[in-house]
Structure 1
Amino acid sequence: MGIVRDRGRYYWVKRVPKRFAGLVVGKDGKPVTQVRQALHTDSKVEAQAKAAQVEVARMAEWEALAMGDSGSARAHFDMAQRLAQVRGFQYQTLSTLLEAPMDEVLERVKDVQKPKVEGKPIENPAVIKAVLGAVPNVLPNLSGVLNEYFDLTTTRHLRKSEAQKHRWVLSKRRAVENFLAATFPKHSPPIDQITRADALRFRTWWSNRIEVDGLAAQTANKEFGHLAEIWGTWAELTGNDLPNPFSKLALDGEKRDQRPSFSRDWVKDRLLDPKAFATLNSEARDILLIMINTGLRPSEISDAPVEDFCIQENIPHLKIAPNGRELKVAHTRRDIPLLGVSLEAARRIVARGGIQKYARKASGWSALVNKYLSNNGLKETPKHTAYSLRHYVEDALLAAGVDDRVRADILGHKYHRPIYGDGGGLLGRRNALEKIAL
């Protein structure tokens, strides 16, 4: 970029970058290699400021032209939207502009009639079409909608850890891929060509999988929910008034069996046998032992920094806070007392400098420990998993007569009655856990 002075006035001058060669044309419609634009000032300082603004606008315009050079109808429409925005207008199709106030239409006409390059009063045809809405609206296919959906919802997931975000993205991509594989295996049409009948075909596809492969209905219903959410959010935030074909697709079916709870005798006699975890690495073992007297989720332990293991306090406890990840829901933020084998495990973790091997890797911990339980005869039934310890704590608290408000505070569950006070706070939770601690 540069500015030149000619007869006392300044002009912005730029050589057209090679990647835009052939796209930027002059008065005669032929490509140009250099552009020049009057800055309408004799002040060098003002000219430099204006030149920077012109540079940004022209580069955005050329980038948009390049994007539309792909031959794709969708790319040309995207280009038109960006070119209109560069000129300060929201893109509107010609049919919409014909119903707009005359002042707005005249403003657009005057804009494209302005000489933008000294000596070249005729605008690039692509710019004229963009400002005057002459490029037909071509909607993206479902994969394109998904990518735009991710861009539109970035602020929803700022608190997610990388692992959480990966799982969130993966579930949405899987739903879209399954839908396209089941209904449009050879091509992916624009979304305005996706109908309710297509969504119902996908529902039938899932019904067959459930019947043949023994999958759970809730797995299908999650995918229907993902697709409905993607479509609805995208349509609302982009101003496309399209009926959502994925609404109300849910399949009836039994819910997946809840993980069974370990019995107290099994925990005391089998899981706390000194030889039970002799060959399991110490960090994995200590995370499991903390679960035994707290009912914490594995990730709530593995993702906690060492400073959240408050073992020197009057009531030793573990703080459950976001710590670089998104908590499941707000009420899961809490302080949980540490007693018995759980306190001993926490002390060892602190002595080692905190969780290291499984930090942000709760899924890896679960895979390892569940395999260990299976290989070493430590599963009370084939359906038991390490997560069953959470259910064990909940059942043990209930059997001990602990108030439901305190149980909810310990386990991080939503409390469905009006909340008064703090439910006894940390002391109340310690008193409750003392009744079941091993």
Structure 2
Amino acid sequence: MSPNQKRKWTSAKKRAVEILIEQRGDKALQDITRADAVAYADFWEGRTIAEGISPSSANKNISHIGGMIRAVDKRLKLGLDHVFGGTRLEGGRDGNRSPFTVEHIRSVILAPGALDGLNDEAKDVVYIVMETGCRPSEIVNLNKSRIKLGAEIPFIRVEAEGRLLKTEHSERDIPLVGMALDAMKRQAGFPRYFDNGDNLSATLMKHSRKAKLLPKVSEDTPLKKRPKYGVYSFRHSLKDRLKAVECPEELTDELIGHATGKPKYGDGYGLQLKAKYLQSIALAPG
């Protein structure tokens, strides 16, 4: 876990506990009841209605408390009731992003001058995310040893090194093609955003709104059905683009860093086959 990951991990849980104490009092673990858990969930549901907080954010706070109680109970064998079970709010996956269409990427995001307001590192992260489907945090935390430009097929290696990855399936090798290869040749790393992905996300979203790079959403669209766009929209877009060229689903999941839901045999797909499919959907010649 990196220093920034540890700080965020700790502060989020501390804040969840502080709010629980504010709502239900400072109690010993064994004195926390189902009524306390339901009241805490109701508090967060009220905030989603009154303040527009997403169910996903509310559920994180509920899960922080339940998870910590389970962890302490397991370690110390206290025999506690897991009173927070089943208290998460419905609709907690509303944070998922909708994909950009290829037409929107080409005509709006890649339009001449569209990214000129960004610094060089942020701009190149956009190109790499666009062509590889990597998470922005995976890119900005690369070091020189994991950028393999001299390989027969240039690639980047995403692996845990001093920090936690999103999932166990996140470790993977990803070929560089098109604009991603050009961008990576310009950057030996991303010191401005290393272990500081939140700053990058804020920079990209601020520019996207200012430059009107996000697809327009009709105000008549019901709130729950409105598509949500952000940097992660490039990941979902890449998945759609790979599907359009009949890339095997397991290979797509391996590129994206998702679980396949199937037992893994062997070392997965090689760089050559990965590069073949990524090159076939490249948004610029590589």
Q: Tell me if both proteins adopt one fold, taking TM over 0.5 as the criterion.
A: yes
Shift in Å, 1:254: 6.2
Determine the C-alpha separation between the residues in 2 that align with 1:331 and 1:204. 34
> Is residue 2:219 matched to residue 1:378?
no
* Other-structure match for 1:290: 128
Please show how residues 51-200 of structure 1 align to structure 2 within 5 Å: 160-184=1-25, 188-200=26-38
TM-score (norm 1): 0.59
Structural mapping, 1:415-430, within 5 Å: 415-430=260-275
2:94 matches 1:256: yes
- How much does 1:423 deviate? 4.2
Q: Percent identity?
A: 32
Deviation, 1:201, is: 2.0
The change in CA–CA distance for 1:217 and 1:269 in structure 2 (over 3 A counts) is closer
SS at match of 1:331: coil
| Pairwise CA distance, 1:308 | 1.5
Q: Is the alpha carbon distance of 1:258 and 1:189 closer, same or farther for their aligned partners in structure 2, counting shifts above 3 Å?
A: closer
CA distance in 1: counterparts of 2:57 and 2:229, whole angstroms:
20
For residue 267 of structure 1, what is the amino acid of its counterpart?
I
- Higher RCO structure, 1 or 2 (CA under 8 Å, sep 6+): 2
Deviation of 1:371 after TM superposition, in Å, equals 0.5
Q: Which runs of 5+ in 2 are unaligned?
A: 218-227
Q: CA deviation at 1:282?
A: 0.7
* Deviation of the 1:257 alpha carbon: 5.3
Alpha-carbon RMSD across the aligned residues, in angstroms, is 1.9
Deviations 1:312-358 (A, max 9, x none): 211011111112211122221111011111100000003xxx22111
Q: Is the 8 A contact 2:122 2:204 kept in 1?
A: yes
Tell me, which stretches of 5 or more residues in structure 1 are unaligned? 1-159
What residue identity is the alignment partner of 1:319?
Answer: R
Separation in 2 of the partners of 1:356 and 1:332?
22
Equivalent residue letter for 2:191: Q
Is 1:334 the counterpart of 2:179? The answer is no
Tell me the residue number matched to 2:49.
Answer: 211
| Change in 2 beyond 3 A, CA 1:287/1:170 | same
Q: Which of 229, 246, 256 pairs up with 1:401? A: 246
- One-letter code of the match for 1:280? L
What is the match of residue 199 of structure 2? Answer: 364
Work out whether residues 304 and 323 of structure 1, in 8 Å CA contact, stay in contact via their aligned partners in 2. Answer: no
2:211, 2:161 → 1: CA distance? 34
Instruction: Give the stretch that moved more between structures: 366-375 or 412-421.
Output: 412-421
> Using a 3 Å threshold, how does the CA distance of structure 1 residues 211 and 270 change in structure 2: closer, same or farther?
closer
Q: Name which one, 1 or 2, has greater alpha-carbon Rg.
A: 1
The residue type paired with residue 279 of structure 1 is G
